[in-house]
Structure 1
Amino acid sequence: MKLNSISSGLIIAMVCCLLSLDGTAQSSRTSYFMKTSYARTSLNAALRPDQSYIGIPFMSNIYLDARTNTFNLNNLTFPLDGERVTFMHAQIPVEKVMENISNNNYVTANIGLSIFSAGFFRGDSHWSFDLGVRTDGDANVPKSVFELLKVGFKENETVTHDLSDLSLDQNAFIEISATHSRVFLNNSLTVGARAKLLLGLSYIDLDAKSLSITAGNEFWTAKSRVKLKGAGPGIYAYYSDSDYNPERRNFDGFHYGSFNIPGYGMGLDVGGVYDLKDVPVGFLQKLKVSYALNDIGFISWTKSNVVQLSSQETEVTVSPHNYTIIGGNTSINDIFNNAVDDIRQAINLHEDASPGGYTTSLRANMNVGLEYEVWKDKMTAGFLYSTKFGKYITTNEFTFSANYMPKSWLATSFSYSAAYSAFNTFGLAVHIAPARGLNFFLASDYTVFKISPQFLPTSSNALNFQIGLSVPFGGKRR
């Protein structure tokens, strides 16, 4: 199996389709305050569903989430003569392109699959068990990359661009978890914890500590100090002949040479919910506050399944694709494909001596919630603040929701998430949860109506989707 970790991974991240699995530890924020939801336990170990359940294998929780500050079609393509053309079109002014580009342009994305899940009550305690596959992936592309592509080639002039913040980080593993929660203080306080056994599958970390490219009208000269770490079953680096220098071979990706578990680790989630129903202040008696800290943990990767590459601070000259002639018929993917291939060859990575085993930390995330009862047993208003701590990127979100339960078997939630919606989209969740039979839920934090054939949102900076099926048992709990 071959994985071109720089080219493929970074291209996919750039177009908001970075494939990463985030199964049992993620759920739609829109369903955080829906008491019928068993998936919300992944956001806070103290949040419990209102009945016991067995998830339909491979169907109990399917989850997709992608967020970015830049990479949507309105920022990367522009209207011209009745059609949309890419930012590289000669008639699109540089100033118009750059006003939509941030100094750092990132993507954080997750796709999820829960293989098996089940939960049940025993007295005042709730237990749940989950098996799923997860990865976390982030990529960052500095503004200088766009400047290099758009204005890098100037006749009779050379321009130097600093690409030092270029990064890609992806971590994949199997998660086996057990969650336990209990109530205290006359049912006012619920405390929960989740213990996790982690089986590492793969890891990629690209870090450009320094990377400068001087562009003339026909060439690039690069000086770089870049490090790339990879972990996977029997991983080894693959090299191919250079397109520009017959005497040089370039790193062209990773091969996996065996089938084993390359990493092992542990994780912990903790959470609590406090119901202020017994406080003496009347209007506060309808308020609940909650807090959770998730993914405190690590994975240790074994020496035989680790590869490290680096570049030396020596000049490398390449003759890249001629970006100045790209017009409206060239796709965004083609542009980034060519760019990443040229940057990869300019960096000129070579394998270091065996780095030995190493340890990576999980991306911790925090949730703080406030829920206020508007209509007893029918409607609540919620506010959720979420933070995800990445190695290179930390993201925050503020979600406001109205949660309505017209029937005991039907729960709905309407939400707005402020950071990535920009008033272009909203969230919606529907749970059909009868006491017997088949339970179904569908949720999205960012309901997007306009996407391209490549699944790029046209104006929104986020995509989110979740679906699940389960079988309840034991009757409803109040």
Structure 2
Amino acid sequence: MKRRNKIAAALLFAASIPAVSTWAQNSLRSAYFLEGYTYRHQMNPAFASERNYVGMPVLGNFNIGLQSNIGVSNFLYKLPNGDLTTFLNGSVSSGEFLDGLKNRNRLNLDVDMNIISFGFHKWGGFNTFDLSIKSGTRANLPKDLFEFAKVGMQGGHSEYNLEDMGMYSNSYAEIALGHSRKIMDKLTVGAKVKFLLGIYNADFHINDMKLVMSDDKWLVSGDGEFSTAGIVDIPTKLKTKDVTDDYGNIHQETEEELDFDNIGTGDAIGGFGMAFDFGATYQLREDLELSMAVLDLGWISYKNAVQSAMAMEPWEFDGFHDIPFDSDKAAPGMSIEDQIDNLTDDPGRLISNESTG
């Protein structure tokens, strides 16, 4: 068979709702140019396999993709004796570690696992069926976050500003039906319809967070949003707090906040949606084929989503107080166990519930 030079003009469009993205297209890109690659139709539905096929569950098509603007060498360092250590080791200077980071450090992780797939020639063209599980996670971590982890407090007072920090994760099952056929001697077109079953969706974004550290206390304040839906169920609980009005009068108000202590299991299928792929190939010359595709044009809508925002008042930690020698004789809420529990629970109260739907 003659070697063919391909020009791939793949136009990858994602929906305005980020539940469906180009995660499904993170298969091995080099395989796009291999005529014998069975799953080329996932990158352009106009591509047809030369023969019928049945894919083995999981092993038939399993892809993991990791993309980042930083590498493992930014976090692992070699000691003089040849052993490896992390950036937290005192032998690694803060300057050496921080100089290798970006102001915005990005990490993308994608998993595409095939469950059932097959393709066959029938009805005047080539037909495909795929059942797969797809997952994608996006993280954006500012440099100050790693500086806080490495340096901590210096000189009795330190401030860190964490801006534009967030993480987005989405997992869903996809049932895809595709068909491609020649409509002219040199022109082949294809289309695919996808039924999407949402498993889990979470979006956590901090617009601005300030961390102030001093010898006597820590203060954390910020502005951000958090939403979650799907198989992980984060319930809400009521919180009562004292509020002072403009006249100095104190009254109590009740608001909802997320209850991270009682995270449970929600619906296995928490959302539904659809997506479409369209593609075409044109044999311009014997050794030149043009290809174009529009992929993942669609959406997923989740039910029972929880949306929350960071509370306006800052969280303050000023140490442990009045810890008795005998914890069994401690006043209510003052034992070391109670105070440690409060230390782990209080930061979660920065996030208050806005609405569910």
Structure 1 counterpart of 2:203, one-letter code: D
Aligned counterpart, 1:35: 35
Asked if the contact 1:25–1:43 (Cα under 8 Å) also holds between the matched residues in 2, the reply is yes
Kindly report which structure 2 residues correspond to 1:252-263, keeping only aligned pairs within 5 A, or say none. Answer: 252=260, 255-263=263-271
Asked if the contact 2:105–2:140 (Cα under 8 Å) also holds between the matched residues in 1, the reply is yes
Shift of 1:117: 0.8
Shift of 1:204: 0.4
Classify the secondary structure of the residue corresponding to 2:102: coil
Shift of 1:291: 2.1
Summarize the Cα distance change of 1:68–1:131 in structure 2 as closer, same or farther, 3 Å threshold.
Answer: same
Output one character per residue of 1:80-103: Cα deviation in whole Å (capped at 9) or x when no partner: 332332212223222211121011
Shift of 1:203: 0.5
Shift of 1:57: 3.0
Structure 2 counterpart of 1:195, one-letter code: V
Aligned counterpart, 1:143: 143
Kindly report which structure 2 residues correspond to 1:331-410, keeping only aligned pairs within 5 A, or say none. Answer: 346=347, 348-356=349-357
Summarize the Cα distance change of 1:56–1:150 in structure 2 as closer, same or farther, 3 Å threshold.
Answer: closer
Kindly report which structure 2 residues correspond to 1:70-469, keeping only aligned pairs within 5 A, or say none. Answer: 70-72=70-72, 74-82=73-81, 83-122=83-122, 124-156=124-156, 158-186=157-185, 188-217=186-215, 219-233=217-231, 235-237=233-235, 252=260, 255-277=263-285, 285-302=286-303, 305-318=304-317, 346=347, 348-356=349-357
Summarize the Cα distance change of 1:295–1:115 in structure 2 as closer, same or farther, 3 Å threshold.
Answer: same
Aligned counterpart, 2:4: none
Summarize the Cα distance change of 1:310–1:125 in structure 2 as closer, same or farther, 3 Å threshold.
Answer: same
Unmatched runs of 5 consecutive residues or more in structure 1: 1-21, 240-248, 278-284, 321-341, 357-478
Shift of 1:343: 10
Structure 1 counterpart of 2:272, one-letter code: Y
User: Is 2:68 the partner of 1:68?
Assistant: yes
Answer with 1 or 2: which has the greater Rg: 2
Output one character per residue of 1:158-203: Cα deviation in whole Å (capped at 9) or x when no partner: 23222122111111111111111122331x2222111111111110
Classify the secondary structure of the residue corresponding to 1:276: strand
Asked if the contact 1:237–1:255 (Cα under 8 Å) also holds between the matched residues in 2, the reply is yes
Summarize the Cα distance change of 1:218–1:149 in structure 2 as closer, same or farther, 3 Å threshold.
Answer: farther
Total equivalences in the alignment: 293
Summarize the Cα distance change of 1:81–1:344 in structure 2 as closer, same or farther, 3 Å threshold.
Answer: farther
Report the Cα distance in structure 2 between the residues aligned to 1:101 and 1:23, rounded to whole angstroms.
25
Report the Cα distance in structure 1 between the residues aligned to 2:182 and 2:301, rounded to whole angstroms.
35
Summarize the Cα distance change of 1:250–1:46 in structure 2 as closer, same or farther, 3 Å threshold.
Answer: closer
Report the Cα distance in structure 2 between the residues aligned to 1:253 and 1:59, rounded to whole angstroms.
38
Classify the secondary structure of the residue corresponding to 2:263: strand
Summarize the Cα distance change of 1:355–1:217 in structure 2 as closer, same or farther, 3 Å threshold.
Answer: same
Asked if the contact 1:237–1:351 (Cα under 8 Å) also holds between the matched residues in 2, the reply is no
Shift of 1:319: 6.7
Asked if the contact 1:24–1:113 (Cα under 8 Å) also holds between the matched residues in 2, the reply is no
TM-score (normalizing by structure 1): 0.56
Report the Cα distance in structure 2 between the residues aligned to 1:32 and 1:25, rounded to whole angstroms.
11
Asked if the contact 2:235–2:259 (Cα under 8 Å) also holds between the matched residues in 1, the reply is yes
Output one character per residue of 1:371-428: Cα deviation in whole Å (capped at 9) or x when no partner: xxxxxxxxxxxxxxxxxxxxxxxxxxxxxxxxxxxxxxxxxxxxxxxxxxxxxxxxxx
Asked if the contact 2:111–2:136 (Cα under 8 Å) also holds between the matched residues in 1, the reply is no
Summarize the Cα distance change of 1:203–1:258 in structure 2 as closer, same or farther, 3 Å threshold.
Answer: closer
Structure 1 counterpart of 2:193, one-letter code: A
Which sits farther off after the overlay, 125-134 or 217-226? 217-226
Report the Cα distance in structure 1 between the residues aligned to 2:318 and 2:55, rounded to whole angstroms.
55
Asked if the contact 2:212–2:219 (Cα under 8 Å) also holds between the matched residues in 1, the reply is yes
Classify the secondary structure of the residue corresponding to 1:44: coil
Report the Cα distance in structure 2 between the residues aligned to 1:77 and 1:126, rounded to whole angstroms.
49
Classify the secondary structure of the residue corresponding to 1:165: strand
Structure 1 counterpart of 2:174, one-letter code: E
Report the Cα distance in structure 1 between the residues aligned to 2:215 and 2:80, rounded to whole angstroms.
29
Classify the secondary structure of the residue corresponding to 1:95: helix
Report the Cα distance in structure 1 between the residues aligned to 2:146 and 2:300, rounded to whole angstroms.
35
Shift of 1:45: 1.2
Output one character per residue of 1:194-246: Cα deviation in whole Å (capped at 9) or x when no partner: 1111111110000112211122356531111121101014723379xxxxxxx
Report the Cα distance in structure 2 between the residues aligned to 1:81 and 1:270, rounded to whole angstroms.
56
Classify the secondary structure of the residue corresponding to 2:192: strand
Report the Cα distance in structure 2 between the residues aligned to 1:123 and 1:77, rounded to whole angstroms.
56
Structure 1 counterpart of 2:58, one-letter code: F
Unmatched runs of 5 consecutive residues or more in structure 2: 1-21, 238-256, 320-342
Aligned counterpart, 1:428: none
Report the Cα distance in structure 2 between the residues aligned to 1:254 and 1:296, rounded to whole angstroms.
37
Shift of 1:130: 0.8
Shift of 1:120: 1.1
Summarize the Cα distance change of 1:65–1:185 in structure 2 as closer, same or farther, 3 Å threshold.
Answer: same
Report the Cα distance in structure 1 between the residues aligned to 2:35 and 2:318, rounded to whole angstroms.
59
Report the Cα distance in structure 2 between the residues aligned to 1:343 and 1:290, rounded to whole angstroms.
54
Structure 2 counterpart of 1:287, one-letter code: L
